[in-house]
Structure 1
Amino acid sequence: MKLLLNIKKENDDLGKQVNNLANILSLTTFLKHTIAALLLISSISIQAQDLPYSNGKKYILGEVTVSGNTSFSEQTIITYSGLSKGKEMSIPGEDIGNAIKKLWNSKLFNDIEIYITKIEGNVAHLEIRLSDLPQLNELKINGVKKGKHEGIIKDTKLNKGVKVTENLITTTKNFLNKKYKKEGYLNSKVHINTIEVKDSTPTARVNMVLNIDKGEKVKIKDIVFSGNEILSDKYLRRSMKGTKKINRIRILKRSKFIDSAYQADLGHIVETYKENGYRDARILSDSIVYNDNKTISLHIAVHEGTQYTFGDITFIGNTVYSNEYLSRMLRINKGDTYNGVLLQKRIEDKSKPDAFDITNEYQNHGYLFSSISPVEVSAANNVIDMEIRIAEGKPAYFNDVSVVGNDKTNDHVIYREIRTRPGQLYSKANVVRTVRELGQLGFFDAQEISPNFNNPNPNEGTIDMEYSVKETGSSQIELQGGYGGGGFIGTLGLSFNNFSIKDIFKKDAYKPIPMGDGQKLALRLQASRFYQTYSFSFSEPWLGGKRPVQFSTSLSHTKQFLYNYQTGNADKDKSFNITGITFGLAKRLQVPDDYFVLSQAISFQRYDLNNYNTGLFTFGNGYANNLSYTIGLGRNNTSVDPIYPTAGSNFNVTAKLSIPYSLFDGVDYKALREERNGLTNTDARSAVIDQQFYKWLEFYKVKFKGEWYTQIAKDLVLKPTTEFGFLGAYNNDRGVIPFERYFLGGDGLGTYSLDGREAIALRGYPNQSLSDNDGGTIYNKFSLELRYPITLKASAKIYALGFLEGGASYNNFRDYNPFDIKRSAGLGIRIFMPAFGLLGIDFGYGFDPLETLGETTSHGWETHFIIGQQF
C-alpha cells in the first residue's frame, strides 16, 4: 500500500491551501511540489514513494474503499468525493486534490488520507481513510450566572451536535474575551477543555467545559493628556462622555473602562478641538497603564495645531435659494472661529431628522436628490475660505405610496394619517410627520415604523414611498381582585383601542372582536360591599371619515353606600348615587399649526343623596344637577412613541363652565346664606336651603398642564411638568360648590370618583393628604422627571425614572403661595404591556411634615403603585 496523500486539518483556512496544493500537483511532479507544500503549510504533510507513476500517469480508477472511524456509509463518502469507479484520471493530479477539498469543506472530518492500494496494469485502486470530527455532547459553563448561559450558547452557537474543531474553540475564546473587554472586564480569561466521550456510540463525541473568569471591572484612576497647551486636561476630560475617572461625588456617570465608549470618546476629543477652531487636531497616541491597585490610567497624546477662522463663504450651484437666504440659514460669518462640527450641522444635522438646516430646507421643498458639500478652497494665514457646492437636481414627486405590515388595521385608518400622497411634491417634513402620526395611533410599535424609499429615479424626478409598520396589541384588559376597606373589591375593565363598530353584526369579524377602524370602546365595572361603579365610553377619531374631528361619548353610574362604623358593614338604606353622560367633539386645527386641537364637551351629572350624612356635603338628602360645558385647547408635538416620548411638548388648558343661574333665577342667595348660618344641620329648614343652593350647580373651573421632553443624552430624557387648577364661583353669596374639587397627594388614582373630583398625584405623601377633607379649590404642582429606557420592544416597554416634585392645595387666593409647597423625590419604574396598559411602582420620599398627621419632621418614604396611568 502506497500513501498518496495524508492531510490533517488544523483550521478552516486550510481548505484554500488544499485547493492550491491540488493545482500545484497538476502542474509538475509530485515530489517537487510535496516539498513546496511542506514549506508553505506545516500542518499539511504529503508523502510520495519513488513510484513509476510519479510523473502523473493516466489511470482508470478501480475499486475505492473507505476505512477509519466514521459514521457515514462508504457509498456516501465515495459519491461525495467524486472518485467514481471507471473514471480516467491522472495520478497524481487535480482530481485527488478536488476530492480532498470536497471532503474537507463538508466540515465533517478530522483528517483525510488517500492510499493507492494496488495497481493492475492501467487500473489503480484507492483507499480513503478518514475519521469524523467529534460532535459536542454536553456543555458546562463555569464562572457566570446560570441566567447568562443561554445567551452565551446562542452567541457562540455551541449547541449540542455541533462539530468541534480547533477553529471553533479559538473563535469562541476570542469572541468571549472581546465581549467581556467591551463590557469593562479587561482582565477576563476564557479556557476551554474538551473530554472525549467513550461509549458504544459510533459517532465521535466530546464534552466541553467552558471556564470563564471575568475578573472585576477595571476603573479609571486618571486620564492624563500630553501635548495640549490650548485646551486644559479638565476641558478635554469633560468632552469624553462615556469615559470618566473615579469621582466619589459623581453618581450618574460610570468610571469603569468600556473600550467601545473610550474609542468613541477619542473621536469626541478631536471634535472638541474642531469646535474651537483647531481643525488639524488629532490623537497622536493613546495607551493604558495598569496600576497596582487594580485600576488603570489612560495616557492620551494630542496634536493641537493652530486655530483657524472662517473666511469667505460662497455658495455655488444654487438657483432655488439666494445666497443671502442660505447665508442666513448657515448663520456663520466671516471672522468667526472655525467650527467644522457646527458647519456640518448647519448644512445637515444627521442627529435630528427635522433640524433647521440647509439640507432639510431643500428636501422639504421637493429636492430629494439634492446634495450639498462644503469644500475648503483656501487655508492661507489660518483663514479658511469655503465653497458650499450645491447640486439641486430635479424636484422629486411621490409616484406610489404604500403601507406594509398592517394585518388588523384597515388601510383607510392608516392612509388618512399619511401626509405624503401620490403626485405630491416630496417633503421630508411630511415623511417625518407621517411617522409620528402613525406612532401616535398606538396600534403599531413606534420603534419599528420605517419609511422606505423605493425606486428613486433622479432623471424622472420620482420616488416610491413605503411605510413599514409592525402591529402590536392595542386592546387592554383589567382584571383585579383584592381585599380593602373591609371587603373584597373586584374590577373588570375592557379597553378596545382599535375597534370597528360597523362590524359588530358580522360574525366573521370576531377575532376575537371586530377591529381595524381605529375607534375606542371601553367598559369598566367595579364593585365591593360599599360601592359599585359602571362606565362605558366610545370615541370615533374621524367623524364622517373625511376630517380629523373626534366624537366621543361616555356614560357612567356610581352607587356609594354609607359605612356603619358600629357594625363595619355597608348601610344599603343610605346611599349616594351619581349618574353622568358626556358628549364631546375635538377638532384638529390648522392655525397656528396643525398640532393644535380644540375640544368641546357637554356633560350632565345627577347627584342623588339618600340619608347620606358624612360632613362631605352640607346636606344629606336631596339632589344636585351639574350641567356644564368644557372647552379646551391643546398642542401635542411629542415625538413618535407615545409611551416614551423623547422630544416635543404637550400642553392643555381647559375651562369647565356651568350656566350662571344666579343671574336670572331671582333668588336672594345672600339672604339664604345668612339664614342658613343661623341654623343647624338638623333643622328641617337647613335642608330646604341646601337644596336651593345646589339644585343646579354653578361654577367655573380652569386648569392648565404643560410638559416638555428633552433628550439630554442618547436615551436619557428630561421631562419637566407644571400644573395649575382653580375652581371658582360666579356669585360669592352662593359660594364655591363642594363638588368638582382637587385632591392632591399620592399616586393620583382612586378606586372610584365621587362628585367630579380630580385626584392629583404628588408622590412621597399619602393619597389626597395634601388637601382638606372636602378638597381644595386651587392647586399647583411642579415636577422634574428623568427617564431612561431599559427596553422599548413592542412586547414590553420598560423605563426607569427619578423625580423631584412639589405642590400644594389651597382653599382660596388669600392663602395661595406658589412657593409654599410640599416637596418630594424618589425613584420608580414603568412597564407598558399592550394587553394590560401601564404598570409601575414609585418610591417617594416626602421632605416636609404633614401637620394634619401631627408630624414635625420629614414625612419619609411612601410606596405608590401605578396602574393604567401614563402621565
Structure 2
Amino acid sequence: MKQLLNIKKENDDLGKQVSNLVNILPKITYIKYGIALLLFACNFTIQAQDLEYSNGKKYTLGDISVSGNTTFSEQTIITYSGLRKGKEMTIPGEDISNAIKKLWNSKLFSDIEVYITKTEGNIAYLQIRLSDLPKLNELKINGVKKGKKESIIRENKLTKGVKVTENLITTTKNFLTKKYRKDGFFNTKIHINTIDVKDSIQTARVNMVLNIDKGEKVKIKNITFSGNTILSDKKLRKSMKSTKKINRIRLLKRSKFIDSAYQADLGHIIDAYKENGYRDARILSDSIITNNDKTISLKIDVNEGEQYTFGDITFIGNTVYTNDQLKRLLRINKGDTYNGILLQKRIADDTKPDAFDITNQYQNNGYLFSSINPVEVSADNNVIDLEIRISEGKPAYFNSVTVVGNDKTNDHVIYREIRTRPGQLYSKANVVRTVRELGQLGFFDAQEITPNFNNPNPVEGTIDMEYSVKETGSSQIELQGGYGGGGFIGTLGLSFNNFSIKDIFKKEAYKPIPMGDGQKLALRLQASRFFQTYSFSFSEPWLGGKRPVQFSTSISHTKQFLFNPQTRNADKSRSFNITGITFGLAKRLSVPDDYFTLSQAISYQRYDLNNYNTGLFTFGDGYSNNLSYTIGLSRNNTSVDPIFPTGGSSFAITGKFSLPYSLFNGVDYDALDAEREANDNIRTDITSSPLDVADASTRIAEIDQEKFSWLEFYKVKFSGEWYTQLAKNLVLRPKVEFGFLGAYNNARGIIPFERFYLGGDGLGNFSLDGREVIQLRGYPNQSLSDQDGGTIYNKFSLELRYPITLKASAKIYALGFLEGGASYNSFRDFNPFSINRSAGLGIRIFMPAFGLLGIDFGHGFDPLPGQTQKHGWETHFIIGQQF
C-alpha cells in the first residue's frame, strides 16, 4: 500500500498553501478500499489511496528513497529535505510539510510528491518522487534584428542551461514589455512558448521560442486639459518635460508616448501649480484615447484648488546662525505667493551640489549631520505659516581620507589636489571641489569619480571620506594629415600626460613608459616637402612638490624651404630656420580665489634667412632675434569633465612684450624710416635706372635688417568662454576672442612676425614666423587675413553641445555652431561689427589614445576677401585639436 502524503505543485510560489493542505490531512477521513476523494484548491491536487485515519500517528522513519526524473543524487535530496532515518515524527504533520517546503524553495524542481511506501509497526518507509525543472536547450527569438538578440539574451539571462521557471518567463515578458514601451512602442506584445525536448538524454530540457511584436511607435497627437482656468493648456503642456505632442519643427523632444515619463510629467503638472501658489492642485483623472491614425491623445482632468501665500516663517532649533542670516538664505518673505518647489530648493536644492541654500550653508561649515524640515503649522485663510525646524547636530570632522582605484597614478599626485584632510572640519564645498580637481587632472574618467561617505558617526562627530576613481589612458598619439603650406603635411606626436621623469632610468618603470607623477612630456614631428618642425616640451605641475607652481619648458626647431614656382617643388638651397626655447612658471593664486592662475614665461626665438626672398620679408639673407616676456592671468572654474564641461567659465588675458630697444640702442629710426621711404620711391619710380633700383632695394633690405635684428613689439590677447546647461546634457558655450599686435615706436613699425591668420580649422600647420592661426569654420584655412597676416582680430562663437556618450573608452558629442570674426591691419580699419559669419554642425570623438577627433561642416555666409559671392560650404577634419 502506497500512501500519498503530498502531491504536485504547479506554481512554485504557493508553498504556503502546500503546508496548509498537508496539515489538515489528519482531519479528513478517507473511505477504505479504494474510494478516493479529489480536492482541488490553489492548483494543487491531493489524492489518497487505501488509507484510513482521522489523526496523525507517530512513526520512526525507516529508509527514505528517491525516484523521478532528476539528476541530483538521492543522498543530496534527502539531506536537503531535512528528513533522516531514525527520526521520530508525526505523519501527516509539520515535518513532512517542512521537508516539502525546503525542496520547493530550492527552485530546482517542477513537482514533488512524498509517499509512505509501507509501514512495519511504528516504522514508516518514505519515498520522495520529484522532477527537475527543465533546462533551456535552444532559444529562438523572432521579431527583432540579429544584432539585438545578444543583448536580449544577456539582459534576461537566457543562456543555454538556465533553469526555465515560471518566474523566468514572467520577468522576461515584463522586462521586454517595459523596455520597448520606454522606446515608444506602447503596444508591445511578448509571447513565450516552451517545447519539451524528446531525446535519449534523461535531463529535462526545453526549447524556448520568444516572439516579440513591438508594433508601431505610438505618438501623441494632442494633449488636452479640463478643469484648468488659472494655467492655460499651453503652460501645462510646457511643464511636461518629456511628454510632448507631435510638432514637426521640434528636434530635441520627441512625441512618442513613454508611460514612465508620462507618469513623471503628471507630477510636473502639479509642480507647476505649486510654483504658482496652488498647493492643493491634483490630477482627478487622466485617460489615453486611441485615434484612427494610430496615434493617441491624452486627456487630463485637474482640480486647481485655491491660491496660497506665505505667512509667518519662524526658525526653531538654530544656534549656529541667526534668524536674519537664515532669512537671507531663504529669500522668501511674508505675503509672497506660496511656492513649495522654491521653498524646498532654498532649503536643499538637490539639482545643484553647490547651491546657495540653507542645507549647504550648514554642511559647508561642518554640520554634516544637520537636518532642516519645513512644517506647515497653519493654513488659515489660505495663508501658510511655517516653522523651519533645524536639528544642527555636532560638527563633523574627517577621520580618514583615502583614494581607491588609482593603479598608475601615484598617491601624492592625487592627495595634493584633495581639499579634504583628516582632522579637518567637514565641508561639502570642499568635497565638490575635490571631485572637480581630480576630474581636471585628465588622468581619470571624470564621470566615474565618486565621493563615498563611510562610517558616519553622529555621536563622535566623525566621518571617513573615500574617493573612488577610474583611471583612463592619459598618453596620446597624434597622427595628423592634411594639405597646407603648398603640400601634404604629416604630423607624428607623442604626448605622455602622466609622466614620471624621476623613474626614467629605472628599467622596471617602463610599462611601457615611466608614469604616475603627473608630469607632461611631449615630442612632435611635423614635415612636408616644404618644411620640417621638431619640438620637445616638458612640464611639472608642482615644482618642488609643495606648492601648485607649474614649471614648463619647450624647445623647437623649424626649417622652411622656398617654393620654386617653375619646378613646383622645394628649393632646399634657400631656407628660413626658426629655433626657439621657452621657460615658464604658472602659479595658482589664492586671491581673489584659487581658480585664478598667474603665468609668466621667457622665450627666445632665432630667425635665420638663407637666400629666402618672399613678399613677407624685405631681406632675404639675415636674421632676427625675438626675446620676449609673457604674462597672463586666467581663471578656470569649468565643471568636472574637461572634455565636456557642463558649467562654469574660463577667462584668460595675456600680454607678450619685448624690450623697448629703440629707447636705448641709439638708432634714429625716424631717419631710417625717411631713408627707407626715399629708397622705396626710387624703386617704384619708372624713370629710375635698373642700377638705382637694385641699389635702393639693397638699401631697403639693409634698413629692414637693422630694424628687425631684435624684434620690438607688444601683443595683447583676451579670450572668455561660458558653459551653461540649458537642459539635461544640453550645453551652450558662448566664446569671445580678441588679439592685438602693436609697436612701441611707430617709426620702427610693426614686426612681420607674430601675426594673426584667421579662418579654417584652426590647426597650425606650421610655425613659420611665430604666426597664430585662429579657427573660424566655414572658410578655407587662413583665408580671412592678408598674406602677411593681421595685427588685430576679433571672433565670436556660439556652440550648442549634446553628448552621445561620455564613457571612458570614447566620449562623443554633437554640436551646432554660429561664428563670426575678422582680422585687420590697423585700428583705422577695425570694426567689430563687420565680420565674416558662418554656421554649421559637427561631431567630436575623444579617445584617450588619440585625443580629440572631429569633423565640421561649416557654411560661410560672406565672400572671401576680393570676391563677391558668399563662400558656401567648407568641411573641416580635426585631429588632436579642441575648440
TM range (shorter): over 0.9
Shift of 1:272: 1.0
Structure 2 equivalent of residue 497 of structure 1: 497
- Tell me, yes or no, if structure 1 residue 132 matches structure 2 residue 144: no
Alpha-carbon separation, structure 2, partners of 1:36 and 1:849: 98
Contact 2:607 2:623 in 1 (8 A): yes
Mapped partners of 2:408, 2:597: distance in 1: 28
Instruction: Report what 2:880 is aligned to.
Output: 868
8 Å Cα contact 2:478-2:493 kept in structure 1: yes
**Using the alignment, how far apart are the partners of 2:463 and 2:113 within structure 1?**
60
Q: How does 1:254-273 map to 2 (within 5 A)?
A: 254-273=254-273
2:677 is aligned to 674
Once the two structures are superposed, residues 501-541 of structure 1 have per-residue CA deviations (whole angstroms, 9 ceiling, x without a partner) of 12222223222222222111111122333322111111111
Q: Decide whether the 8 Å contact of 1:11 with 1:165 is kept in 2.
A: no
Q: Is the CA contact (8 Å cut-off) linking 1:70 and 1:130 kept in structure 2?
A: yes
Aligned twin of 1:46:
46
CA distance in 1, matches of 2:816, 2:227: 41
> 1:418 is aligned with what amino acid?
I
Report the Cα distance in structure 2 between the residues aligned to 1:398 and 1:131, rounded to whole angstroms: 58
Q: 1:656 to 1:532 in 2, by over 3 A?
A: same
The aligned counterpart of 2:201 is 201
Q: Contact 2:38 / 2:47 at 8 angstroms: preserved in 1? A: no
Give runs of aligned pairs for residues 118-157 of structure 1, distance below 5 A.
Answer: 118-157=118-157
Amino acid at match of 2:663: L
Whole-angstrom CA distance in 2 between matches of 1:580 and 1:730: 23
Distance 2:553 2:495 in 1: 14
Q: Does 1:816 align with 2:830?
A: yes
What secondary structure sits across from 1:634 in the alignment? strand
Q: 1:692 aligns with which of 706, 714, 739?
A: 706
Aligned equivalent of 1:246: 246
Residue correspondence of structure 1 range 214-233 to structure 2 within 5 A: 214-233=214-233
The 5 A counterparts of 1:603-682 are: 603-665=603-665, 666-668=667-669, 669-678=672-681, 680=683
Cα separation, 2, equivalents of 1:339 and 1:480: 56
Secondary structure at 1:678 match in 2: helix
Aligned to 1:782: 796
Aligned counterpart, 2:845? 831
Moved more, 514-523 or 95-104: 95-104
| Pair 1:483–1:135, CA change in 2 (3 A) | farther
Q: Tell me, yes or no, if structure 1 residue 96 matches structure 2 residue 109.
A: no
CA distance, structure 1, for counterparts of residue 68 and residue 800 of structure 2? 67
> For 1:311-370, what per-residue CA distance to the aligned partner results, in whole angstroms no more than 9, with x for missing partners?
222222222222222222222222111111111211221111111112222222222222
For residues 710-769 of structure 1, what are the alpha-carbon distances to aligned partners after superposition, in whole Å with 9 as ceiling and x for unaligned?
Answer: 111121111111111111122222222221111111211133221111111111222112
SS of match in other structure, 1:579: strand
CA offsets 1:12-50 (integer angstroms, 9 cap, x no match): 31234334444555x755869x99995541x22111124
TM-aligned CA deviation for residue 694 of structure 1 = 1.8
Partner Cα distance (2:531, 2:556) in 1:
14
Secondary structure of the corresponding residue to residue 770 of structure 2: coil
Could you tell me which amino acid in structure 1 is paired with residue 677 of structure 2? E
What is the CA–CA distance in structure 1 between the aligned matches of 2:411 and 2:38, rounded to whole Å? 66
Paired residue type of 2:681 = G
TM-superposed CA distance for 1:392, in Å, is 2.2
TM-score under structure 2 normalisation? 0.93
Q: Which residue of 2 aligns with 1:463?
A: 463
| Residue type at the aligned position of 2:459 | N
1:679, 1:686 within 8 Å by CA — same for their partners in 2? Answer: no
2:764 is aligned to: 750
Q: State the match for 1:361 in structure 2.
A: 361
Amino acid at match of 2:848: P
Residues of 2 paired with 1:471 and 1:36: CA distance?
70
> Do the aligned partners of residues 629 and 485 (structure 1) sit closer, same or farther apart at CA in structure 2, a change above 3 Å counting?
closer
**Aligned twin of 1:403:** 403
Larger deviation: 90-99 or 157-166? 90-99
Q: Distance in 2 between matches of 1:66 and 1:153?
A: 35
DSSP-derived class of the 1:712 partner: strand
C-alpha contact 2:419 2:430 (8 A) present in aligned 1: yes
Look up the match of 2:687: none
Conserved 8 A contact 2:30-2:53: no
Which has the higher mean CA deviation after the structures are superposed, 129-138 or 113-122?
A: 113-122
SS of corresponding position for 1:800: strand
RMSD: 2.5
Aligned residues: 866
Question: How many angstroms apart in 2 are the aligned matches of 1:361 and 1:102?
Answer: 55
Task: Compute the displacement of 1:553 (Å).
Answer: 0.6
Secondary structure at the aligned position of 1:395 is classed as: coil
2 CA distance for matches of 1:486 and 1:808? 24
Alignment of 1:567 with 2:570, yes or no, is no
Question: Which residue in 1 is equivalent to 2:784?
Answer: 770
Report the CA distance between 1:104 and its aligned residue. Answer: 2.9
Alignment check: 8 A CA contact 2:619 2:702 kept: no
Gaps of 5+ in 2: 684-692
Query: Which stretch has the larger CA shift, 601-610 or 808-817?
Result: 808-817
Match of 1:340 in 2: 340
Deviation at 1:188, TM superposition (A): 1.1
Q: CA deviation at 1:594?
A: 1.2
Bigger drift between 104-113 and 251-260 goes to 104-113
Unaligned runs of 5+ in 1: none
Q: TM-score of the superposition, structure 1-length normalised? A: 0.94
Query: What one-letter code is carried by the residue in structure 2 that aligns with 1:375?
Result: V
How far off is 1:490 after superposition?
4.5
CA spacing shift, 1:528–1:38, aligned 2, 3 Å: farther
1:735 aligns with 2:749: yes
- Give percent identity, aligned residues only: 82
Give a deviation string over 1:122-167, Cα, whole Å, max 9, x none.
4444443333322212222222222222221122111111112233
Instruction: Go from structure 1 to structure 2 and tell me whether the alpha carbon gap of 1:130 and 1:461 turns closer, same or farther (over 3 Å shift).
Output: closer
Change (3 A) 1:94 1:228: same
C-alpha contact (below 8 Å) 1:495/1:521 kept by paired residues: yes
Query: Bigger CA drift: 463-472 or 577-586?
Result: 463-472
Which of 785, 806, 814 in structure 1 is aligned with 2:820? Answer: 806
Report the Cα distance in structure 2 between the residues aligned to 1:333 and 1:102, rounded to whole angstroms. 64
* Alignment-mate amino acid for residue 668 of structure 2: V
Cα distance, 1:106–1:499 mapped onto 2, change above 3 Å: same
* Structure 2 residue matching 1:511: 3-state secondary structure: coil
Distance 2:423 2:128 in 1: 69
Report the more deviating stretch, 505-514 or 817-826: 505-514
With over 3 angstroms needed to count, the CA separation of the structure-2 counterparts of 1:721 and 1:9, relative to structure 1, is farther
Instruction: Say whether the 8 Å CA contact 1:673–1:734 is kept in structure 2.
Output: no
Where 1:671 maps in the other structure, the secondary structure is helix
Distance 2:610 2:3 in 1: 109
Output the CA distance in 1 between the equivalents of 2:650 and 2:374. 37
- C-alpha distance in structure 2 between counterparts of 1:31 and 1:660, whole Å: 119
Task: Describe the shift of the 1:486–1:736 C-alpha distance in structure 2 as closer, same or farther (beyond 3 A).
Answer: closer
Residues 66-104 of structure 1 show CA distances to partners (whole Å, capped at 9, x for unaligned) of 443334444444444444455444432334333333333
Q: Distance in 1 between matches of 2:3 and 2:533?
A: 92
Q: Secondary structure at the match of 1:831?
A: strand
In structure 2, the partner of 1:316 is: 316
